[in-house]
Amino acid sequence: MRFLYAGILCLSAGIGVLVCAAQESPSTPATQSSPTAPAPPQLPGKIVFSGTTNANGQTTVTAGPGLAAPVATASAAPVATDAEREAVRFTAYDMDVHIVSAARHIAVRARITVRNNGAAPLGRIPLQISSSLIWQRIRVEGRDTRFSVATIDSDADHTGQLHEAAVPLPTPLAPGQTLTLDVTYAGDIAPNAQRLVGIGAPGGPAIHSDWDGIGDEFTGLRGFGNVVWYPVSSVPRLLGDGALLFNEIGRQELRMTGTRFAMQLTDEFPPGKTPTLAVISGRPVALDVNSSSGERLPGVATASLAQTTLAFEFPSLFLAVRDEHEGPEMKLWTLPVDDGAATAWSAAGKEVLPFLQGWLGQRPQRELTVLDLPDAADAPFEEGAFLATGIQTASADQLEGILAHALTHAFFASPRPWLNEGVAQFMGTLWIEHEQGREQALGSLGTSRQALALMEPASPGESPGQPLVDAYTPIYYRTKAADVLWMLRDLTSDAALSAALRSYHPAADSGDAAGPCPLEKLIEQASNRSDLGWFFRDWVDADHGLPDLNIDGVFPSAVEAGNWLVAVDLSNSGYAGAMVPLTVRSAITSVTRRVLIPAQAKTVERILIQGKPTQVDLNDGSVPEVEASVHVTHLLEASQPGAGGPAGARP
């Protein structure tokens, strides 16, 4: 449905006018651009926004008479409650966005659908946007409504504040019911590091983190957690509140899963600044550029994204003037100064691509888009198969590591965050193993283990933790998810996990946390195993924390022909079961078995080895634990051969 700005954009020497579709009554004609200019034709609609362009090509968009008189009143304090904010779930956005890049200006009219996910009826709907934007009009079910606006402190936006409209409803919205609202707002968006400077961050690094803004050569609006350029409803959080802000960002992203999103974009750009790339919510879209104005007059570019379904992602918007370069299953869009670096990136992609094809299939689901950010120091941003970063020349190892992760998103996608991000993280560590060996890959996995152990509940009764099926924190949906995939690989085989990942189709997965994950059945089918239920129950469907493994005793006994039988007492005082590698070593050889140690249980494993045993290893770092993920017992020389006595550890 296209009902916004579906009118006529008239560009002359001095006026750009945007006319709303004739769903409203006719209005008076627009003003003339100069005393001698001919009057514009009368149009069957109301002017919603008009833009005037000066001699320098700078355009300012203002509200026209098509907008009703202001119906917002300022409120000294917020009237919405956290319960009301948490109850609102956005199920659909249909947005028309008008940008005047030279003026850093954005004007938006959107139709949004919200659902009451709470347990009580809602008498009002809280709607929030960046404090750099101004609410102009809100209609409920096609009728104008008066509403109050309060400024609230929240670091979900780079300004550190949000403008929250409390929209009263004529009839309370019952739990589970939906409501459609038409909203109009506008303002200027420039890079702003206020929230970071406010907590003591240096201005330079801060602005490289909070680079969101509108400009004549680059527009980047990342969404909630960076700049709130579309309506949201969130609990206000500050950076000084520990992990509360980051948890709120994750919850908001999780609540976006399944939201329908469509957008129509109009960009007025100054002379000589024709945009070459537009990316909406991580998806490149074609630009239709009005070329009749040439290089001396402002131009207009339009683009649209047909209705799509968001999957653990925020609406984002990027426009840029960049040079295009073809790469292996990717396009690189660079600043002229970085054109040379595109060759190194393409070379790195050629190295990585065959490895990914061997795991994930010959053809990606979509092409990777890499956008060169304005400054090499700007913080990277990733959304699906879209990566915004500084495209600089770097070592082959660095670029290959970046692209092993980024290109995975082009091959594999899922509405489940732990699969969507976890598979990319997993493939990145597999590339390290491919290039540097298993030990280096496990070391890479271990860098975040301490943070994961701190986040995990000590026991299931202490807190529910974050089951992977509905995880919203990166330490879970990236770090723990990659650990889980490594364990599944070791439980089955490379071939079985690869076959399951190739067979997985996001369209066949609802992403519903309450439903079964298709990957479990796919792995069982590919590996001819039907006993993975225990693993998914402990590691995916619920958060039972991490195992806490130990070697309780080692009992070597000499048998015959130089062979020894080693009995190893093992225990797991954690609440998650684990199948881990157990290795017994001698001076001649080593023997490794995978041993299942259930939660809160003990077990004994007996291994026959040639030569006198000298060392026993439990876990090699592939299974995360509460503390150490590698247990080593050196057998004392004083152990009595053949006596069956326990062997201690060397000091």
Q: What's the pLDDT band for 637 if we cut at 50, 70, 90?
A: low
The stretch 227-239 carries a mean pLDDT of: 97
What pLDDT does residue 295 have?
Answer: 66
CA angle 642, 645, 651 (to 5 degrees): 115
What pLDDT does residue 482 have?
Answer: 97
The pair of three-digit structure tokens given for residue 547, joined into one six-digit string: 């195992």
Q: What's the pLDDT band for 71 if we cut at 50, 70, 90?
A: confident
Residues forming beta bridges with residue 418, ordered by sequence position: none
Instruction: Give the C-alpha separation, 254 to 385, whole Å.
Output: 18
**Helices 438-446, 481-491: crossing angle, 10 deg rounding:** 150
Evaluate whether 72-320 and 323-411 have a shared fold. no
Amino acid at 14: G
What pLDDT does residue 72 have?
Answer: 86
Distances (CA, A) of 350 to 166, 328, 354, 423, 483: 53, 6, 7, 20, 27
For residue 153, how far is the Cα from the chain centroid? 24
Distances (CA, A) of 135 to 72, 102, 124, 381: 8, 22, 16, 28
The stretch 553-568 carries a mean pLDDT of: 95
CB atoms within 10 A of CB 301: 21
What pLDDT does residue 2 have?
Answer: 34
Fold of 323-411: Zincin-like (3.30.2010)
pLDDT surpassing 50 at residue 638: no
Instruction: Give the C-alpha separation, 267 to 320, whole Å.
Output: 11
The pair of three-digit structure tokens given for residue 284, joined into one six-digit string: 């490149």
Q: What's the pLDDT band for 100 if we cut at 50, 70, 90?
A: very high
pLDDT surpassing 70 at residue 495: yes
Q: Residues, the chain, total? A: 651
The pair of three-digit structure tokens given for residue 278, joined into one six-digit string: 């537009």
- Which DSSP string do the residues of 279-308 spell out, in sequence order? EETTEEE--EE-GGGTTTS-EEEEEEEEEE
CATH 1.10.287 fits 549-634, yes or no: no
Instruction: Give the C-alpha separation, 212 to 253, whole Å.
Output: 18
Instruction: Give the C-alpha separation, 280 to 267, whole Å.
Output: 13
Distances (CA, A) of 37 to 9, 14, 270: 17, 10, 22
Instruction: Give the C-alpha separation, 139 to 185, whole Å.
Output: 12
Cβ-contact 316, 221 below 8 angstroms:
yes
Cβ-contact 469, 513 below 8 angstroms:
yes
Residues 638, 639, 643, 646: is their CA dihedral positive or negative? positive
For residue 7, how far is the Cα from the chain centroid? 35
What pLDDT does residue 291 have?
Answer: 65
What pLDDT does residue 51 have?
Answer: 46
Mean per-residue pLDDT of the chain = 87
pLDDT surpassing 70 at residue 410: yes
For residue 551, how far is the Cα from the chain centroid? 40
CATH 3.30.930.10 fits 72-320, yes or no: no
Query: pLDDT tens digits for 149-167?
Result: 999 999 999 999 999 999 9
The stretch 442-464 carries a mean pLDDT of: 87
Stronger pLDDT, 379 or 628, i.e. the higher one = 379
The stretch 440-454 carries a mean pLDDT of: 92
What pLDDT does residue 296 have?
Answer: 73
Query: pLDDT tens digits for 581-592?
Result: 999 999 999 999
CB atoms within 10 A of CB 464: 10
Residues forming beta bridges with residue 566, ordered by sequence position: 556, 607
Q: What's the pLDDT band for 292 if we cut at 50, 70, 90?
A: low
Q: Report the range of poorest mean pLDDT among 193-197, 201-205, 352-356, 381-385.
A: 201-205
pLDDT above 70 as % of the chain: 86
The pair of three-digit structure tokens given for residue 303, joined into one six-digit string: 């683009």
The stretch 605-619 carries a mean pLDDT of: 96
pLDDT surpassing 70 at residue 394: yes
Cβ-contact 163, 135 below 8 angstroms:
yes
The pair of three-digit structure tokens given for residue 210, joined into one six-digit string: 């909070």
pLDDT surpassing 60 at residue 441: yes
Q: What's the pLDDT band for 571 if we cut at 50, 70, 90?
A: very high
Q: Report the range of poorest mean pLDDT among 73-77, 183-187, 248-252.
A: 73-77
Three-state DSSP at 25 gives coil
The stretch 290-298 carries a mean pLDDT of: 70
Q: Report the range of poorest mean pLDDT among 208-212, 295-299, 344-348, 604-608.
A: 295-299
What pLDDT does residue 458 have?
Answer: 82
The stretch 106-115 carries a mean pLDDT of: 98
The stretch 373-382 carries a mean pLDDT of: 97
What H or E segment, with its residue span, contains residue 597? strand 590-597
Q: What's the pLDDT band for 530 if we cut at 50, 70, 90?
A: confident
Three-state DSSP at 97 gives strand
Amino acid at 541: D
pTM: 0.85
Q: What's the pLDDT band for 572 if we cut at 50, 70, 90?
A: very high
Cβ-contact 422, 481 below 8 angstroms:
yes
Q: What's the pLDDT band for 465 if we cut at 50, 70, 90?
A: confident
What pLDDT does residue 121 have?
Answer: 98
Helices (H) and strands (E) in the chain, counts: 14, 32
Cβ-contact 64, 46 below 8 angstroms:
yes
Cβ-contact 72, 167 below 8 angstroms:
no
The stretch 485-509 carries a mean pLDDT of: 95
Distances (CA, A) of 274 to 102, 220, 305, 429: 12, 16, 20, 40
Instruction: Give the C-alpha separation, 129 to 231, whole Å.
Output: 5
The pair of three-digit structure tokens given for residue 85, joined into one six-digit string: 């904010």
Stronger pLDDT, 48 or 250, i.e. the higher one = 250
Cβ burial of 350 (10 Å; 0-12, 13-18, 19+) is middle
The pair of three-digit structure tokens given for residue 591, joined into one six-digit string: 């023997």
The stretch 431-441 carries a mean pLDDT of: 96
- The residue extents of the domains of the chain are 72-320, 323-411, 431-539, 549-634
Q: What's the pLDDT band for 49 if we cut at 50, 70, 90?
A: very low
| DSSP code at position 199 | T
Could you tell me which residues come within 8 angstroms of residue 53 by beta carbon, excluding any fewer than 6 positions away? Answer: 14, 15, 16, 59, 268, 298
Q: In what order do the strands lie in the sheet with 299-309?
A: 143-144, 133-140, 178-188, 105-116, 88-100, 260-269, 299-309, 288-289
Cβ-contact 289, 299 below 8 angstroms:
yes
The stretch 494-516 carries a mean pLDDT of: 88
Of 384, 387, 413, 280, which is closest to residue 327 (Cα–Cα)? 387
